[in-house]
Structure 1
């Protein structure tokens, strides 16, 4: 009896799953009927290649797990990086593409983006997908990759049989397979998981020193003793943030912002302008110019980047032992105010509706604030800022605008503070939890064991991302297993190193390989900060979630259970 290549590959996959990943094997659905396959092809107006028919005649996709979704983490079978469709999902996807792009492709973003005779049979969690070419001709039956931004690309697999054979080879040999990205098959708790294997690259190029340079300006502006608040203010000031802190001087305000002392000097507005990173990629080290007036220190930032005075991490630090008010304004008319007292948010106001305002009602704290309008007119936007300023002046006595903004002010470049969230959800106190399958083991572990585990896992993550190339980091790693290890002290050598890594990762126009490496390293830096600052149970989830070794689960389980 003749066995097609598709059937042989499925036989090999089934055999391997039954022996090594029985939970995943049990998720595979029975075959689709020939009648249903024929009906789907007829409705889509295409002829299914023999490989696609044989593929569906062996297994009609994957059954949902206990939570009603198809997921490898719940034992669902997957192709590397892609979730197989059932026949019903293939048909639904085809209908959607016909509706989206038109029966004859008249709505395509650009020529060659899609063809009505492409049939999607698997997809990622995003719209990206695997397709079979059902056009008659030399490419009939070829498998391509659809990416939302680029359309469909062919060239990796001449047929579905070729792709499935590679999957079977990878499972049996435990080898890396590339389907867009590179993956390695790993078994954990009876389930098959395709672990992403990052490309090994060299040390990333640093663009930090370029960020220290100031722009060269032809002429300097004139000193203005006071910028008067009137109906035209902030004419000439678009996209700015003014941050005020009571009873501080310029030196202390700069320190709390995270200033680099070696960059401190008087600057005019033109010298504080953000560089065009398209012309020369560099680390963005924004400038804050500072002054004092009426018992308040103030700092002004301008530019299209994230303004530090709008960040809660910065305002908590600036307001320590005092109070701080932040007023930001954007060219689209959006105005916002935040009030912090001794490191805690008091209230927040925003001219956009439905922005959370914090513990206290901003209209109670700042009487006279304008009520947010869903779609304000340009005239209403112009009226909002003076009204907001009036309310802040009445409540705090802050001079708005403060004197000397158009002139030369003391200033420094800022090395931005580390973000203090780690991508968790509110129900997890905004901390990334460990995967569910390890939760009971973590709960049962003693504090001493958890300290050893997080020290080992963090050391492995640092080695995988290159974070351990810094002496400050290796010194901190050696302390993680101790009961009373110190946290990350503000402006310590370790804090500055982690912040510098974070800044390197935000260079938008850097070479993509460099940026990828810096981003991985920056995430590891945030995980290390959590590991040093938080209890091990709260910090462990982010650390293991960032691991790059495909076999980290086996290692983690052994560390939690071995005596």
Structure 2
């Protein structure tokens, strides 16, 4: 009789424990309980889209304040160059809106307002004479469109929303990203961030030329009378 009671009690205890412990969930159910952010995505990360020749033809309006800021910075840069260099800097004429529109379409992305304002002031520079620090010459609308296509075709990971606007002779570029910030592109991969915007870069360059700002580089005039930049 005692044995019967012991066996009955054991059965009741096992049944109680089995009812109080939930059955293990399948992995997908457990992750769903933690919310969508806890579940690993099965989708691959989106890759930058590179589509030269399909950019917009309509030019973004340039706010008066942006135009005034860009023109003021260029005026300061031009003034310093005229007073300090023995060799004249030869600028390309201002870009017509038709040329800017063609360049946008060729590059595959819309130009930020400060780039539009800058191109309407100078459509790049001829030969040597002016560079953004340390060695980047402003590009013309034709060069921007052509080089954006080359970078899309030849550079793995080049983001199609990037717009090159200044370059050296060895495959380095300054570009504007989709937010309008300035970045540096090194051959084969990204470089460093350069400035918050093209307008910021122009202001900073003018400050460096006039000695109002201490930076990694400072202006240096070569024996040929051409502007260069030296590392501090």
Match of 1:219 in 2: none
Q: Paired residue for 2:130?
A: 77
Structure 2 equivalent of residue 58 of structure 1: 121
Q: How does 1:288-327 map to 2 (within 5 A)?
A: none
Question: What are the residue-to-residue correspondences of 1:381-400 with 2, within 5 Å?
Answer: none
**Gap change, CA 1:95 and 1:20, over 3 Å in 2:** same
Q: What CA distance in whole angstroms lies between the structure 2 residues aligned with 1:7 and 1:30? A: 15
SS of equivalent residue, structure 1 residue 145:
strand
Select the residue among 60, 64, 71 that pairs with 1:7: 71
Matched, 1:119 2:163: yes
- Counterparts in 2 of 1:24-173, with a 5 A limit? 24-25=88-89, 27-63=90-126, 70-71=127-128, 76-80=129-133, 81-101=135-155, 108=156, 113-133=157-177, 135=178, 140-154=179-193, 156-173=194-211
What is the alpha-carbon distance in structure 2 between the residues aligned to residue 85 and residue 24 of structure 1?
18
CA contact (8 A) 1:24 1:190 kept: no
**Residues in 2 aligned to 1:129 and 1:95: alpha-carbon distance in whole angstroms:** 14
* 1:496-511 to 2 correspondences below 5 Å: none
Question: 1:175: Cα distance to partner?
Answer: 5.3
Alpha-carbon offset, residue 100 of structure 1: 2.3
Give the SS at the match of 1:191.
coil
Shift of 1:18: 1.6
Aligned to 1:235: none
How far apart are residue 118 of structure 1 and its match?
0.7
Could you say what the CA RMSD is over the residues aligned between the two structures, in angstroms? 2.3
Q: Which has the higher contact order (CA 8 A, sep 6+)?
A: 2
The change in CA–CA distance for 1:183 and 1:36 in structure 2 (over 3 A counts) is same
Give the secondary structure class of the aligned counterpart of 2:228.
strand
Instruction: Determine the C-alpha separation between the residues in 1 that align with 2:204 and 2:117.
Output: 17
- 8 Å contact 2:85–2:227 — kept in the other structure? no
Aligned to 2:19: none
Structure 2 alignment gaps of length 5 or more: 1-63
TM-score, scaled to structure 1: 0.28
Between Structure 1 and Structure 2, whose CA radius of gyration is higher?
Answer: 2
Once the two structures are TM-superposed, the CA of residue 87 in structure 1 deviates from its matched residue by 1.4
Do 1:32 and 1:58's aligned partners in 2 also have CA atoms closer than 8 Å? Answer: yes
Alpha-carbon distance in 2 for matches of 1:144, 1:187: 26
1:183·1:196 contact (CA, 8 Å) conserved in 2?
yes
1:90 partner SS: helix
Are the counterparts in 1 of residues 70 and 114 from structure 2 also a CA contact under 8 Å? yes
| Contact 2:208–2:214 under 8 Å retained in 1 | yes
Cα distance in 2 between the residues matched to 1:114 and 1:153: 14
Aligned residues: 167
Note the C-alpha offset of 1:39: 1.5
- Once residues 192 and 37 of structure 1 are traced to their aligned partners in structure 2, the CA distance between those partners, rounded to angstroms, is 28
Tell whether 2:218 aligns with 1:196: no
| Cα drift, residue 186 of structure 1 | 2.3
Q: Structure 2 CA distance, aligned partners of 1:174 and 1:117? A: 33
Q: Does the CA-based 8 Å contact 1:28-1:77 persist in structure 2?
A: no
